Amino acid sequence: MDHSKQDRDDDQGVAEWVKRQGLSPRRGTARPYALTMRYPETELRERLEHDLRQSPETDRWTLGDSLLDPEDELRRMIPVFENGGLAMYLPCPDADEPHLETCISISADSLQQLIMDDRTGPLVALDAWPRCPIHHGHPLTAEIVDGAASWICPHNQSLRWRIGDLGQAVRR
């Protein structure tokens, strides 16, 4: 296949994904979608990493770059590291995944369980992550609210933050 046909095919695939995500193409460029597209695994990783960095207690956990699942080369996964060692993998949404927010919510819940159940670190286990920025004594819960992956206060469900948008208020 010549490169120009491959480029056209790639651009068409990207255009279809952008359209399914409800994004707007960038106008006036030769490859309008390539400059504005965010891959689902990138968005998942960036949003979870952002929320991890809002609490100094979670500095020992980091997310790696997505990689191919050795058992299913059509799927990608994101490694979670604790103090540099592999702790677990989070599943990545596919490029054509219609429910990206659901994948983000499930991955956030898995990451939360890993952090709160960990019994090996100097803190033994965090009693709450992410900690409710209003009440401070309990963790938020990952749920889908109005189509968005969100952290919800279990004591007052009107208190909610989009996963990836936790602010400095979470720091204690």
The answer to whether 89 and 45 are in contact (CB under 8 A) is no
* Predicted pLDDT of residue 53: 92
Q: What is the largest CA-CA distance in the chain?
A: 60
Percent of the chain with pLDDT over 90: 38
Percent of the chain with pLDDT over 70: 68
* Predicted pLDDT of residue 108: 96
Cβ burial, residue 24 (10 Å; 0-12/13-18/19+): exposed
- Assess whether pLDDT exceeds 60 at residue 167: yes
* Predicted pLDDT of residue 136: 81
Return all residues near 164 (Cβ < 8 A) that are at least 6 apart: 43, 46, 47, 48, 50, 51, 104, 149
The answer to whether 117 and 87 are in contact (CB under 8 A) is no
Name the pTM for this structure. Answer: 0.71
As a whole number of angstroms, the distance between CA 6 and CA 51 comes to 38
CB atoms < 10 A from the CB of 128, how many?
18
- Assess whether pLDDT exceeds 90 at residue 79: yes
CB atoms < 10 A from the CB of 37, how many?
18
